[in-house]
Amino acid sequence: MELTLIMNQSNKSISELTKVLKEAIGKTPPNGNPLVSHKFGADPYPLIYQDRVYLYATNDEIEYDENGDVTDNTYAGINTLTVISSSDLVNWTDHGEIPAAGPDGAAKWAKNSWAPAITQKVIDGKDKFFLYFANNGSNIGVLTADSPLGPWTDPIGQPIISRETPGVDGVPWIFDPAVLVDDDGTGYLYFGGGIPDEEYEMPNTARVIQLSDDMILTVGEAKPIPAPFMFESGGINKYNGRYYYSYCSNFYTSDRPAGVPGAGEIAYLTSDHPMGPWTYQHAILKNPGYFFNVSGNNHHAIFEFKGTWYISYHAQTLSAAMGIEKGYRSTHLNKIYFDEEGQIEPIQADLQGVEKVKNLNPYETMEAVTMAWQAGINVSKPSDTNFNEHDRVVSEIKQGAWLAVSSADFEHAAKECVVHLASETEGVSIEIRLDSIDGQIVGQVDVPNTGGKWKELSFPVEVDKGIHDVYFVFKGDTNQSLFELASWSFNK
Active site residues: 43, 232
Distance CA 120, CA 148 (A): 8
Q: HEC states along 3-22? A: CEEEECCEEEEHHHHHHHCC
- Residue 460, strand partner residues: 416
Straight-line distance from the first to the last Cα atom of the chain, in angstroms, rounded to the nearest whole number: 36
Sheet containing strand 218-225, edge to edge, reads 178-181, 187-192, 206-211, 218-225
Exposure b/e, 80-99, CB count within 10 A at least 16 = b: bbbbbbbbbbbbbbbbbbbb
Contact 56, 118 (CB under 8 A): yes
What are the backbone angles phi and psi of residue 29, rounded to the nearest 5°? -60, 140
- Size of the chain in residues: 492
State how far Cα 283 lies from the chain centre: 23
What are the backbone angles phi and psi of residue 293, rounded to the nearest 5°? 60, 25
Distance CA 372, CA 33 (A): 10
In 136-278, which ranges are E strands? 139-145, 178-181, 187-192, 206-211, 218-225, 230-239, 242-249, 266-271
Question: Could you tell me which residues come within 8 angstroms of residue 388 by beta carbon, excluding any fewer than 6 positions away?
Answer: none
Contact 492, 412 (CB under 8 A): yes
**Per-residue DSSP letters for 413-475?**
-EEEEEEEEEE--SSEEEEEEESSTTSEEEEEEEEP--TT--EEEEEEEEE-SEEEEEEEEEE
**Residue 394 DSSP one-character state:** E
Coarse DSSP helix, strand, coil percentages of the chain, rounded to the nearest 5 percent = 5, 45, 50
Distance CA 335, CA 338 (A): 10
Contact 476, 372 (CB under 8 A): no
Instruction: Identify the CA nearest to 160 among candidates 98, 222, 99, 236.
Output: 222
